[in-house]
Amino acid sequence: MMWRHLKFWIGVMCIACIPMAQADTVALKQGHPQTYVVKKGDTLWDISATFLEDAWRWPSVWKFNPQIENPHLIYPGDVVQLTYVNGEPRLTIVSRDEKLSPKIRASAIAADVEKISLASISKYLSGNRIVELGELESAPYVVSGQEGRLIMGGSDTVYVRGELDQNNIVYGLYRKGGTYLDPKTGELLGREATQLGTGTVVGIDDGIASVFLERTSADVRIKDRLLPLMEQRIDSTIYPKPPSQPVEGVIAAVVGGVTQVGQYNVVVFNRGAREGIEPGNVLSIYKEGQLVADEIADRRIRLPAEKGGVILVYRVFEKMSYALVMEASRPLSVGDLVKSK
C-alpha cells in the first residue's frame, strides 16, 4: 500500500521524462544552493523548488542524468548537486547511504510522503464532482439506516431505493453541494455533488438495496444520494505540463467553503475542457496589483499583478476544473488571476 502511494505521489511530482519541447527554458531560482541534502519529510516538489523558479520543470534537468538508473528513487540523506552540461543545468545525486536496502528506504519515504501530502489531499482527489441538472435528484437515495438510524457512518449499513446499475456494486454517497458561477461573467460553471463516502451493495431484496459503508468523510443521512464512482485518481503517469494554449481565468471558489487560499487547498478554476485544460496542467496564480495614488499625474493607478502561487489541475469538467495549490508564497483568495506562463 505504501509503495502504491509513493508511486502515486511521484507521478504528481513528475520525476520522469517529458518531451524537451515542454522544457526549453529552465530558470534557476535566485540565490539557489549548489547542493541540497534530502531530509525526511521532503516532497519532490519541495526539493525542486529549492533550485528552480518553476518547481514542476524538474523532469527536464534529470532527463539526461546518466548515473541515475531510476530517478524515482531519491531518499533521505541523498545529496543533490547542481551541475551544468553544455551550459544547461542538471541535477545529480553525488552520494548515497548504501547501508540501507532500497526496499527499507523506499518504505520510509513512502510513509513520510503519505503523512505530509496524501493524507491532507486524498479526500479531495477522490471526492466532489460536477453533475448535470437533475442528475443527483433522480439518483437512488438512502431511506433508512440499520435499526432505523437517521445518521450513519463508516462500517454501518444503509438501505437504498432507486434504480441501481446492475453491473456496478460500488457507489459514492453524495449530497447536494454548491453552485459555481463564473466570478467575471456570472455564467453557470457547474453544480457540485459533495461526496460523503463510499459504499458497496451487499444485497437487494424487493427493490431495496443494502449498502455497506466502506468509509465516510461526513455523516450519511436519510435522502442522501448514490452515484457510481467515477475514475478520479491521478494516475501515476500523469505529467505536470503547461496548457497547450494560453489560458487566463480566476479562482472561482475554494473547496470547503473558505475564502482564503493556501498550500494544498483545492480550488475551483473557471476554465475547463472547452478551453483546452487537461489534468496535469500547471498554471500560476497572480495577486491583482494595488491601487495607489500617482501624485505627479494626480490620478490613481493599479500596480502590476504579482505571482503568488502555482496550481496543478487534477480533474477537468466542461466549464471548470479542480486544482491543487502546490505553492503559495503569499495570501491568496477567490478572484485571484490564474494564467499560463
The answer on pLDDT for 251 being more than 50 is yes
**C-alpha cell recorded at residue 181:** 458561477
Tell me if the pTM is above 0.75: no
Residues 248-339: name the CATH superfamily.
FlgT, C-terminal domain (2.40.10.410)
Average pLDDT value for residue range 137-148: 94
Strand (E) or helix (H) holding 228: strand 225-228
Segment 16-71, tens digit of pLDDT: 333 333 345 678 888 889 888 887 767 666 777 888 887 766 666 654 444 444 54
Domain 129-228, CATH number (from 3.90.640, 1.10.1740, 1.20.120, 2.40.10): 2.40.10
The Cα–Cα gap between 284 and 309 comes to 6
Between 207 and 109, where is the model more confident?
A: 207
Helix axes 2-13, 44-51, angle to 10 degrees: 30
- Mean residue pLDDT across the chain: 77
CA distance to 191, 194, 252, 337, per residue, from 184 (Å): 18, 24, 9, 11
What are the structural domain ranges in the chain? Answer: 2-125, 129-228, 248-339
